[in-house]
């Protein structure tokens, strides 16, 4: 029970800390609406499950202990966040221009964007390596799987809630006049995160 509480608290602090996932959901909510944001949240939650399974099987430890693979992952992560951030900066919409895609492909794309953002999140990799390799008892695999499923579901619920908040019409109307600038701000944040990750390759 104590171990589970430790997982809950550590995961809560990690998932609620502003990072690529949070800014992505905010961006998806404002640009594409609630449905796509929820699918993106599902993608992020699925990414958490993949991270957990990779940590349990030892794959994450192999990746993070190999400087070449870790640097390659950081480059991929930086490039992806730069793309998302640049798109928000240069393609920022006004409140009246918000795209509300209705096709199933829009939902699938939202899921893929969420999944890729989480899978290429280097901080998430290191978090799970530390959690499963140091903090928890790695001998009990069944418990580790349960923890992974819990964190996946909790992550989805949290980011779905964030998406719900940012797609609330009353909140959107209050931000209507600042919408374009707020989206540009989110884009700048994503670019800054990307640059920081890229610099970490060269600055030890």
Residue 12 pLDDT greater than 50, yes or no = yes
Segments of 148-202 assigned E as strands: none
Q: Provide mean pLDDT across the span 106-118.
A: 89
Question: Contact at 8 Å (CB) between 155 and 45?
Answer: yes
The tens digit of pLDDT for each residue in 33-89 reads: 889 999 999 999 999 999 888 888 877 677 767 778 778 878 887 887 788 788 777
At 96, the pLDDT band (50, 70, 90 cuts) reads: very low
At 152, the pLDDT band (50, 70, 90 cuts) reads: very high
The tens digit of pLDDT for each residue in 119-136 reads: 888 778 878 877 776 666
Task: Specify the higher pLDDT residue, 26 or 92.
Answer: 26
Residue 15 pLDDT greater than 50, yes or no = yes
Residue 54: the pLDDT is 85
Q: Provide mean pLDDT across the span 145-167.
A: 92
Structure-token match 């964030």, residue found: 162
At 2, the pLDDT band (50, 70, 90 cuts) reads: confident
As a dihedral over the C-alpha atoms of residue 113, residue 114, residue 120, residue 125, rounded to 10 degrees, the angle is -170
* Token couple for 109: 């794309």
Task: Specify the higher pLDDT residue, 153 or 15.
Answer: 153
At 90, the pLDDT band (50, 70, 90 cuts) reads: confident
* Token couple for 25: 């959901």
What is the DSSP code (8-state) at residue 135?
I
Residue 99 pLDDT greater than 60, yes or no = no
At 154, the pLDDT band (50, 70, 90 cuts) reads: very high
The tens digit of pLDDT for each residue in 166-193 reads: 888 777 666 666 767 777 787 888 888 8
Question: Contact at 8 Å (CB) between 197 and 122?
Answer: yes
């Amino acid at each position: 029970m104590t171990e589970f509480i430790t997982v809950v608290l550590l995961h809560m602090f990690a998932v609620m800390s502003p990072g690529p996932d949070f800014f992505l959901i905010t961006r998806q909510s404002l640009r594409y609406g609630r449905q796509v944001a929820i699918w993106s949240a599902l993608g992020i939650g699925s990414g958490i499950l993949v991270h957990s399974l990779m940590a349990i099987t030892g794959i994450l430890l192999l990746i993070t202990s190999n400087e070449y693979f870790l640097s390659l992952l950081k480059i991929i992560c930086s490039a992806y966040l730069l793309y998302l951030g640049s798109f928000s900066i240069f393609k920022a919409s006004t409140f009246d221009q918000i795209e509300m895609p209705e096709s199933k492909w829009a939902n699938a794309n939202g899921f893929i964007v969420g999944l890729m953002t989480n899978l290429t999140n280097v901080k998430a990799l290191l978090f799970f390596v530390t959690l499963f390799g140091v903090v928890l008892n790695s001998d009990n695999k069944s418990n580790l799987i349960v923890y992974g499923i819990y964190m996946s579901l909790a992550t989805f619920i949290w980011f779905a809630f964030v998406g719900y908040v940012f797609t609330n019409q009353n909140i959107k109307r209050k931000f209507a006049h600042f919408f374009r600038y707020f989206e540009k701000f989110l884009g700048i944040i994503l670019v800054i995160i990307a640059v920081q990750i890229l610099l970490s390759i060269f600055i030890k």
